[in-house]
Amino acid sequence: MATEDKNRATAAAILPLVGGAANVSSIAHCMTRLRLGLHDRSLVDDEALKAVPAVMGVVDDDTYQIVLGPGTVARVTPEFEQLVEEGRATAPDPGEAAPSVSAEELAAQGAAMKAERKAKNATPFKLFLRRIANIFVPLIPALIGCGIIAGLNGLLVNLGWLTSVTPALAAMASGFMALIAVFVGYNTAKEFGGTPILGGAVAAIIVFPGVANIEAFGQKLSPGQGGVLGALGAAVLAVYVEKWCRRWVPEALDVLVTPTLTVLVSGLVTIFGLMYVAGEVSTAIGTFADWLLSNGGAGAGFVLGGLFLPLVMLGLHQALIPIHTTLIEQQGYTVLLPILAMAGAGQVGAAAAVYFRLPRNESIRRTIKSALPAGLLGVGEPLIYGVSLPLGRPFITACVGGAFGGGFIGLFNQLGDKVGSTAIGPSGWALFPLLDGNHGLGTTVAIYAGGLLVGYFAGFLATYFFGFSKDLLAEFNVSQEPAESTVAASGAPAAPTTGPDSTPKEPAGV
């Protein structure tokens, strides 16, 4: 089957299982997930979706998220959008068939269900983190592309090859980072309900070379001072100024006065306040990260690597995105991401141990075999939701594996060998092209590879020897029905049934 046909077939398989085109209110995607806004969540068939070959898992959050994996999601989404448009165009007139309930009743039911789902995840802190993610996640493809080009350029420079081409590669790699504040400002204004271009205009002040001639707090400003944090604050301020103007400026003058006052007021505050304050905060973040790994070393890496999987499960990992971006702006790479990526290595090792500890459970072993390649490339959802989390203990021992891998890399950071990533997003083996450090590419790659191996082996050993109680082994090390493909559907009487967006109510064997 041609790739286009395969992607369209996947989209066609998904659409009826989420309630059809009429049930889809919005479509978007991130690195690995198709994110859908749905009118009526009750029309979704979760189990049938999980059975679609290309679907790695589902997550029910503020949007309904279907895990397809990197690359695949970017190809399936346009096909899905096209099918939705076609479905809406050919949908019958609602007046042709008399509904069993009134439209008002259906709308009320849908609104109540949506409100109930949102209430579970609508804590102020989580809403704030979701907004932060919505600002920075769209920038990840550019960060990855420019990061890989930067790595290639560094390799060519070190080898002395293609000297006439390397300046051009350097421009390609650095251009986006030089203007990233503008993109952050644009996305921030869009996310907070303002005019995106005004947010970008105010943020552009931060990277304008002419700010070097301005003095604030007794010192000259420098272009880029404050970075993405300054751009974030400037754009949020611009949104509030704009909204104030929309309320008080007469309509006849709105088109002239509102954008002028928005840029003027927020621009002055940015130049004479935010740039300095955000610059100090950004510097403190970089200094703290260096201090933490220089002094904490293995201990800091152990804690960071061990806690990352729980942070991901709670959605708190989104708070790290601006920190990663700030470190990349300042140092050219983030030293935190390679350590956090060890959580995925622990997950892979734990899954391998489960595979060997449950030789009779064809269902779990089949899930592991299909999900392991994605896990090696840093896509951990299938192994988390399909294997370790429903089993309980293996999720904990996977965290132990990540802790040891993070400790290994943290130790080398303490010894002076920094290991960083020039972009955020990828993990596992997919992070190799983005690695950078202070002692050459060979040393950096070797340390990161060593951390992965430590994570694999630690996760495997911890799970193999401590991941199963006798009761858990007796419950799961049995032959399963061939048609069932996940731990959650294993059919064992006491096996927990888990939704992909939440931890099991009562993890087995813990």
Q: Which tokens sit at 451?
A: 């951390």
Residue with tokens 């049930």: 23
Separation of CA 235 from chain center: 22
Q: H or E stretch including 183?
A: helix 180-191
Number of H helices, E strands in the chain: 22, 8
Do 381 and 32 touch, CB atoms closer than 8 A?
yes
- Specify whether 245 is catalytic: no
Residue of 300, 304, 305 whose CA lies nearest to 452: 305
3-state SS assignment for residue 54: coil
Read off the DSSP letter of residue 163. T
- Amino acid found at 159: L
Residue 299: C-alpha distances to residues 80, 209, 411 (Å): 46, 41, 8
Do 351 and 371 touch, CB atoms closer than 8 A?
yes
Read off the DSSP letter of residue 435. E
Q: H or E stretch including 114?
A: helix 103-121
Question: Buried (b) or exposed (e) across 23-42, using 16+ Cβ within 10 A?
Answer: bbeebbbbbbbbbbebbbbe
**Positions marked active-site:** 30
